[in-house]
Amino acid sequence: MPDFDTSVPHIARIYDYWLGGKDNFAADREAAERAMAATPTIVPGGAGQPALPRPRGPVHGRGGHPPVDLSQPTAVMLIAVLHCIPDSDDPYQLVADLMDAVPPGSFLAVTHPARDQVDIATKAEESLTKSMGQKVTFRTREQVSRFFSGLALADPGVVAIQDWRADSALDLGSAPTAMWGGVGRKS
């Protein structure tokens, strides 16, 4: 029996549901469906685990996979998770700590719900906070750009994700996703 209340939704389990996982409960599935119904322009996606680890050495592999060798360039991918970390928990320092743990040549990839791309962003932020049972924080382009402090941004920089290296008519004509995205390289 779990040592937590399965009747209260949790954002990690909501993401698990959105991604087709099995580690979620009725309250998580209901919250996920309410969030999508209330904010259909917000497309969920991401790692499903909002907690940011603080690596201090080689990350041990699971399921027979080799460990991550943090002496080699590494990709730190924070895909639709940073909005789960409130400003009071200093998400910028958390990202800086992660990047401090990886060697030069490593990359940081971030996607983040946008507060300043679509008119309904504030309503969507409030709705997701209510639906998920946890405060979420949408951020502006300027705020998302701060996650790349000290890194060399890859072209085209921090842009709406549908515009990041768009190379087909489908990409160029897609509807706004209300997400900022970017990639930076540690020197």
- Sorted by where each begins, the domain ranges of the chain are 43-50+70-185
Quickly count: other Cβ atoms within 10 Å of residue 162's Cβ. Answer: 17
Radius of gyration of the chain (CA): 17
Quickly count: other Cβ atoms within 10 Å of residue 56's Cβ. Answer: 8
pLDDT of residue 52: 39
pLDDT of residue 47: 38
Quickly count: other Cβ atoms within 10 Å of residue 53's Cβ. Answer: 11
Q: Which residues pair with 111 in a beta bridge?
A: 79, 181
Model confidence, pTM: 0.72
**Is the model's pLDDT at 51 over the cut of 90?**
no
What is the Cα–Cα distance from 186 to 151, expressed in whole angstroms? 5
pLDDT of residue 151: 98
**Is the model's pLDDT at 70 over the cut of 90?**
no
**Is the model's pLDDT at 49 over the cut of 60?**
no
Over residues 13-35, the mean pLDDT reads 86
What is the Cα–Cα distance from 75 to 14, expressed in whole angstroms? 25
Mutual angle of helices 11-18 and 26-38, in 10-degree steps: 70
pLDDT of residue 11: 80
What's the topology of domain 43-50+70-185?
A: Rossmann fold (3.40.50)
Percent of the chain having pLDDT more than 90? 43
What is the Cα–Cα distance from 50 to 41, expressed in whole angstroms? 21
